[in-house]
Structure 1
Amino acid sequence: MNKRQTRLFAIIATALSAALFLILTFDSHRKFDQLTNAESITPAVTHGKNVWHKNNCINCHTIFGEGAYYAPDLTKISKLRGEAYLKAYMKDPSKFYDETRHRRLMPKQDLSDEDIAGLIAFFDWVSNVDNQGWPPRPILVTGATMPGTDRSLEQQTSGAKVERGGIEAPPGARPLAGDENPIALGERVFRTATPACTACHSTAPGVNMAGPSLAGIVGRSEALLASGDYKGHAKDVSGYLHESIVEPSAHLVPGPMYSADGTSFMPTTYGKDLTPEQIDQLVAYLMSLK
């Protein structure tokens, strides 16, 4: 190209780039309210945001992948932990972690009930923002590590995908031909339910997260049912596991990490979010964890 053609090319390319930038900017602004779930910004959400900033939570935690990366990303925390858990945790984090053993340095902020309610509302709003998959692998709330490895359990499970034929199986998907094993289907439910069971439970012995390890759950359940300490209505292990999924507060596992004020921290939504078939498959998988 000669100088005139080069100059003309540069002008046209710049103009097209500027036009494209303006169109994309306009389109982004047009969708901001929808993408950010703006209609759900209540006074409680605003108050929670102010509590978040006042206590410099971002100095340790991240939201949308932005923050100090010292502590877990909290973008989807309200979908991974229920309100009862978050409320009890923020009242006194020391009940949930042994600082010497887990190296947790979460300070007790002495937050008021109003501040805690605001933070929970803020986290709930954040979790419903369409962040288009960012961060791609949010850090889950656990400091546990798998025995014999230096990889944390959160690294091993937060990005886990259950695939069949190279395609990730969505929650509630019907089994494909040759994929009728209820234990295998139950393991898929274990990893793909919302929230995923792997967010709170491990299947490794001694690795307790927000919920107790499920390794050996069958033997422990048998001992519980025979002990006289059981407070629920199940008659056998499979019934107890089913009850624990759909009615988690029927029997409370001892310990401040797992319940407060007579209410289990286990989500109560699985009974309506999962089909009876999926719950049976999940029970079949748990029954395999001898």
Structure 2
Amino acid sequence: MNKRQTRMFAIVSTALASLLFLVLTVDSHRQFPTLTNADDITEEVVRGQNVWHAYNCINCHTILGEGAYYAPDLTKITQLRGAPYLTAFMKDPSQFYDEQRHRRLMPNLGMSDQEISDVIAFMDWVGRIDNQGWPPRPILVAGSSIPGADLSLTQQQTEGEGTASGLPPGARPVAPDNAPIAQGEALFRTAVPTCQACHSMAPGVNLAGPSLAGLRTFFEKIKASGEYTGKATTAEEFVRESIVEPSAWLHPGPMYSAGGVSFMPPNYGEDLSDEQVDQLVAYLLSYN
């Protein structure tokens, strides 16, 4: 290739690349209103964005991949935690995390009720943006350093985590993939919002929600003590009730409810079929 041909190749390649870039840019801007749900940007959402900036939330948190990495990514936080939990958390973060135990403590920003409501509306809008799957997984606030805590039960069996038999403490062997326990495990990790975003299956590891290990023993204990005020008479009924009617009995502690309403999402009874709930119950009770 001589100099003239080389020059022409460079000019044509640059022109084609520039044209492609221009076309993709225009197409992206064409899709932005739909991808960002622009029609849902209300005055409350705009005020919430101003609150986000006024309190410098981005100095610790990330949204859509932008910000600091000192604290969890909040892109999907409203879908993972829900407005009641976030409201109570922002009013008094010290009720949820202890600096000595968890080695972190979000400061009490002294936000007004209106500011809290607005910033939750903003975060809810952010979480509904079509962001092509970002973040790839929720960033847990606690418990992620527990050996095997982020592995599935089947992974732990394969890789030999936990007891000498290859199972984590208290776990039963998982049946084939078409069995209720295995299907329940899949739901635990894929339901919307995902159960694993708030709950750990490791004994004593409490995240946004209490550990779900040993639910059968836990139910028998609260039933015998008179603490339980729900309608369930068996552990299976108790777990089902906790999934489809979470406020029927409130787990003790300010981290899990406020004003007589559980922070647990109330939509599972509508979004999941009876069979799927049965599968979740089977999986959760497989941890003795």
TM-score, normalised to structure 1, is 0.88
Distance 2:226 2:120 in 1: 37
The Cα offsets for residues 232-258 of structure 1, whole Å up to 9 and x where unpaired, read as: 111111111100000000000110000
Q: Residue in 2 aligned with 1:170?
A: none
1:267 to 265, 268, 282: 265
Distance 1:145 1:134, change over 3 A: closer
1:75-94 aligned within 5 A: 75-94=75-94
Q: Given the alignment of the two structures, is residue 57 of structure 1 paired with residue 63 of structure 2, yes or no?
A: no
Distance 1:227 1:161 in 2: 31
Distance 2:29 2:57 in 1: 28
Distance 1:133 1:146 in 2: 24
Q: Residue in 2 aligned with 1:72?
A: 72
Asked whether the 8 Å contact 1:243–1:250 carries over to 2, the reply is yes
Q: Residue in 2 aligned with 1:167?
A: none
Q: Residue in 2 aligned with 1:109?
A: 109
- Residue 49 of structure 1, CA deviation: 0.4
Asked whether the 8 Å contact 1:221–1:237 carries over to 2, the reply is yes
Give secondary structure in 2 for the equivalent of 1:267. Answer: coil
Give secondary structure in 1 for the equivalent of 2:247. Answer: helix
Asked whether the 8 Å contact 1:248–1:268 carries over to 2, the reply is yes
Count of aligned residue pairs for this structure pair: 268
Asked whether the 8 Å contact 1:186–1:278 carries over to 2, the reply is yes
- Residue 136 of structure 1, CA deviation: 2.5
Aligned-residue identity in percent: 63
Distance 2:138 2:80 in 1: 11
Distance 1:270 1:187 in 2: 15
Q: Residue in 2 aligned with 1:36?
A: 36
Q: Given the alignment of the two structures, is residue 17 of structure 1 paired with residue 17 of structure 2, yes or no?
A: yes
Most deviating of 181-190 and 57-66:
181-190
2:275 to 274, 277, 281: 277
Amino acid of the residue matched to residue 237 of structure 2? Answer: G
Amino acid of the residue matched to residue 62 of structure 2? Answer: T
Asked whether the 8 Å contact 2:97–2:105 carries over to 1, the reply is no
Unpaired segments of 5 or more residues in structure 1?
164-177
Q: Residue in 2 aligned with 1:255?
A: 253
1:231-242 aligned within 5 A: 231-242=229-240
Distance 1:224 1:146, change over 3 A: farther
Distance 1:180 1:243 in 2: 24
Q: Residue in 2 aligned with 1:192?
A: 190
Q: Residue in 2 aligned with 1:205?
A: 203
Distance 1:146 1:277 in 2: 33
Distance 1:93 1:162, change over 3 A: same
Distance 2:264 2:21 in 1: 46
The Cα offsets for residues 131-175 of structure 1, whole Å up to 9 and x where unpaired, read as: 1012333423x222454x4x8x5xx26xx7999xxxxxxxxxxxx
Distance 2:212 2:206 in 1: 9
Distance 1:161 1:62, change over 3 A: farther
Aligned residues: CA RMSD: 1.8
- Residue 180 of structure 1, CA deviation: 3.0
The Cα offsets for residues 104-135 of structure 1, whole Å up to 9 and x where unpaired, read as: 23100111111000011011000000110123
Distance 2:237 2:96 in 1: 29
Q: Residue in 2 aligned with 1:222?
A: 220
Distance 2:269 2:135 in 1: 29
- Residue 95 of structure 1, CA deviation: 0.3
Asked whether the 8 Å contact 1:65–1:138 carries over to 2, the reply is no
TM-score, normalised to structure 2, is 0.89
- Residue 222 of structure 1, CA deviation: 1.2
Distance 1:138 1:210, change over 3 A: closer
Amino acid of the residue matched to residue 17 of structure 1? Answer: A
Q: Residue in 1 aligned with 2:178?
A: 180
Q: Given the alignment of the two structures, is residue 144 of structure 1 paired with residue 143 of structure 2, yes or no?
A: yes
Distance 2:50 2:260 in 1: 31
Unpaired segments of 5 or more residues in structure 2?
156-175
Distance 2:8 2:264 in 1: 65
Distance 1:64 1:138, change over 3 A: farther
